[in-house]
């Protein structure tokens, strides 16, 4: 996590940012410390990244990389105002002994990637910040299936503002943030998901961090906290009203290291051969109709990483995959 020592809203790169609205930097630091204390109280270790002057959004440290199996897939920010942050994160991972995969395509780390270890499945968002081609790149880096989900509401410009894992296999999400095909896919993959409504999403209720039981959540999302409690989880509300002015909340401030530093796994060259794992075609590149989603769900390419039940069905793509 990165303390908001230089936090300010000096530019507007998402609908939540208003450069004319006052920001209380001291209060932002106090709220951030309360978030870090909440993690410590729950028994989690908090590692701090030093903030750098001139980078007011470094507090949203989840955007700096995506980590699975001790390998950090680096970020490449879309907006020039945030691009120097990627260097700070890369330096931290490399000097700390982590395997670091340099990105070729624009992506904003855990803003648009999340991982469900129980399913060995990566969920990835695109539509506003992350280049959809980064999804195939992530599959190559981690050797994990990647499911591409198209975001369509600019208020929920990152996946972590519209969807979050509750435990190793279950998620919560706001359906209206996604294109119809992506909604259909989420319904099929996660029939037991906890669904948020418009009020829950606007309160940044989905920008939470869960350890499988305790869900650290923005205090403004009281209604969604009740839904989580009814679903068997324990909400831990934290007030991050100042940091919400920059378009982020709990999860934006909290990357997950997922594993320990290790040597990088062999990387497959996408241009020379097959992806390392199944990657669903991002719905919307050629249309968002529900029937397109259904066709894409059936039209997967086989690879050694596919679960046996799928590969035994003899499935073949209905048209040329977008990564080829």
CA–CA separation, 176 and 161 (whole Å): 12
CA distance 57 to 13: 11
Chain centroid, CA 45 distance in Å = 20
**R_g of the chain, CA atoms, integer Å:** 19
Contact 247, 157 (CB under 8 A): yes
Residue 280 annotated among the catalytic residues of the structure: no
Helix, strand, coil percentages (3-state) for the chain, rounded to 5, are 30, 15, 50
d(CA 99, CA 67): 10
Reply yes or no on whether 2 is catalytic: no
Catalytic option among 89, 252, 253, 280: 252
- Phi and psi at 187, nearest 5°, equal -60, -40
Rounded Cα distance between 24 and 29, Å, is: 9
**Which one of the listed residues 89, 158, 253, 280 is annotated catalytic?**
158
Element (H, E) at 148: strand 146-150
Reported as half-sphere exposure (CB side, CA atoms, 13 A), residue 32 has a value of 26
> How far is residue 164's CA from residue 61's CA, in Å, rounded to a whole number?
16
Alpha-carbon distance of 59 to 18, in angstroms, equals 17
In angstroms, the CA 228 to CA 33 distance is: 24
Which residues are the active-site residues? Answer: 158, 252
């Amino acid at each position: 996590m990165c303390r908001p020592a230089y936090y300010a809203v000096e530019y507007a790169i998402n609908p939540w940012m208003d450069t004319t609205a006052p920001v209380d930097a001291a209060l932002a630091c106090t709220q951030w410390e309360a978030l870090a204390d909440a993690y410590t109280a729950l028994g989690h270790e908090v590692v701090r990244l030093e903030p750098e002057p001139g980078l007011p959004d470094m507090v949203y440290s989840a955007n700096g990389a995506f980590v699975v199996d001790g390998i950090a897939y680096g970020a490449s920010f879309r907006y020039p105002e945030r691009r120097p942050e990627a260097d700070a994160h890369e330096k931290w991972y490399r000097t700390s002994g982590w395997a670091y995969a340099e990105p070729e395509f624009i992506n904003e780390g855990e803003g648009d990637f999340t991982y469900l270890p129980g399913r060995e499945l990566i969920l990835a968002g695109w539509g506003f910040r992350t280049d959809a081609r980064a999804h195939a790149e992530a599959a190559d880096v981690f050797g994990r299936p990647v499911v591409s989900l198209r975001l369509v509401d600019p208020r929920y410009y990152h996946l972590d503002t519209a969807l979050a894992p509750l435990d190793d296999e279950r998620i919560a999400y706001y359906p209206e943030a996604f294109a119809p095909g992506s909604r259909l896919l989420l319904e099929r993959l996660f029939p037991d998901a906890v669904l948020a409504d418009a009020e829950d999403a606007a309160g940044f209720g989905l920008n939470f961090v869960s350890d499988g039981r305790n869900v650290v959540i923005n205090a403004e999302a009281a209604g969604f906290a009740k839904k989580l409690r009814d679903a068997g989880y324990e909400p831990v509300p934290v007030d991050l009203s100042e940091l919400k002015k920059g378009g982020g909340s709990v999860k934006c401030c909290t990357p997950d290291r997922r594993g320990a530093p290790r040597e990088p796994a062999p990387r497959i060259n996408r241009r020379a051969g097959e992806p390392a794992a199944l990657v669903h075609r991002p719905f919307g590149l050629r249309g968002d109709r529900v029937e397109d989603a259904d066709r894409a769900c059936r039209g997967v390419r086989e690879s050694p990483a596919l679960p046996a039940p799928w590969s035994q069905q003899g499935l073949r793509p209905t048209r040329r995959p977008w990564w080829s």
